A and B are shown apart, each in its own frame.
Chain A
């Protein structure tokens, strides 16, 4: 079964940093581009960032550019999101998803990030 499992979510104070992880299983992770998509509970979906299969190309939403960094370790079947200078507006469930600029066909359940003083 193709599966994505996120971890690393936590409650953090404004201005703090957090690193999210996403472990893939059931498919050849190194063949696929990956993305992070976030969702405020009860609200819509917001694409955050994407990375190509080899990490050679990345893309970011304007709302996180310069603060978030996406990366991957294909040897560990893992995707990461380093989040710096966090603010209350970053509070959301963060899902990793398989895909880059066309569609997302495998999703993780998400990990919750809460930014609050």
Chain B
């Protein structure tokens, strides 16, 4: 059972913006860095955002991350059909001494 809660799905038209929430607690998001991953079905996950708001090389600035207290948010602007995928948040949990992932959000464009 995932410790981090995400909405099951979000959708918007091409060119629009979506935000995906990731709700945790003081033992995970509240005290550790958040990362975000994107996964097209039947492929490996890919790092999208790390350390709350940093983008790896090659990730466009249409993708942004933020954190406030025990929650984090991924934003995607200028939606493209190629952005259709599953998105997961993740963070270390100090109470569990384990890394925890979010429940996942399917983005439909």
- What's the Cα separation between A45 and B50 when bound, in Å? 17
In the assembled complex, which residues on chain A have CB atoms less than 8 Å from the CB atom of B92? 101-102
**B45→A45 contact, CB < 8 A:** yes
Chain B interface: which size bin? 20 to 34
**A44→B101 contact, CB < 8 A:** yes
Chain B residue with minimal CB distance to A46? B101
Query: Within the complex, what minimum Cβ distance (angstroms) separates A109 from chain B?
Result: 5
Scan B83-104; emit 1 where CB is below 8 A from any A CB, else 0: 0000010101000111111111
**A95→B44 contact, CB < 8 A:** yes
Q: Is the C-beta of A27 less than 8 angstroms from some C-beta in chain B? A: no
**B99→A101 contact, CB < 8 A:** yes
**B35→A104 contact, CB < 8 A:** yes
- What's the Cα separation between A91 and B96 when bound, in Å? 23
Known interface pairs A44-B104, A102-B92, A105-B56. Does A35 touch B44 (Cβ–Cβ under 8 Å)?
no
Number of interface residues of A (CB under 8 A): 23
In the assembled complex, which residues on chain A have CB atoms less than 8 Å from the CB atom of B18? none
Chain A residue with minimal CB distance to B99? A47
In the assembled complex, which residues on chain B have CB atoms less than 8 Å from the CB atom of A45? 37, 45, 88, 90, 101, 104
- Residue in B41, B43, B47 whose CB lies within 8 Å of A103: B47
Interface positions, chain A 55-80, Cβ under 8 Å from B, are: 59-62
Known interface pairs A44-B103, A45-B37. Does A105 touch B47 (Cβ–Cβ under 8 Å)?
yes
- What's the Cα separation between A60 and B102 when bound, in Å? 18
In the assembled complex, which residues on chain B have CB atoms less than 8 Å from the CB atom of A60? 98
**A59→B97 contact, CB < 8 A:** yes
- Residue in A37, A44, A101, A104 whose CB lies within 8 Å of B2: A44
Q: Which 6 A-B pairs have the closest CB atoms?
A: A103-B35, A47-B99, A103-B50, A107-B44, A45-B101, A101-B92
Give 23 CB contacts A-B under 8 Å.
A37-B45, A44-B88, A44-B101, A44-B104, A45-B101, A47-B90, A47-B98, A47-B100, A59-B97, A60-B98, A62-B96, A62-B98, A97-B45, A101-B99, A102-B32, A102-B33, A102-B50, A103-B33, A103-B90, A104-B37, A104-B45, A107-B44, A107-B45
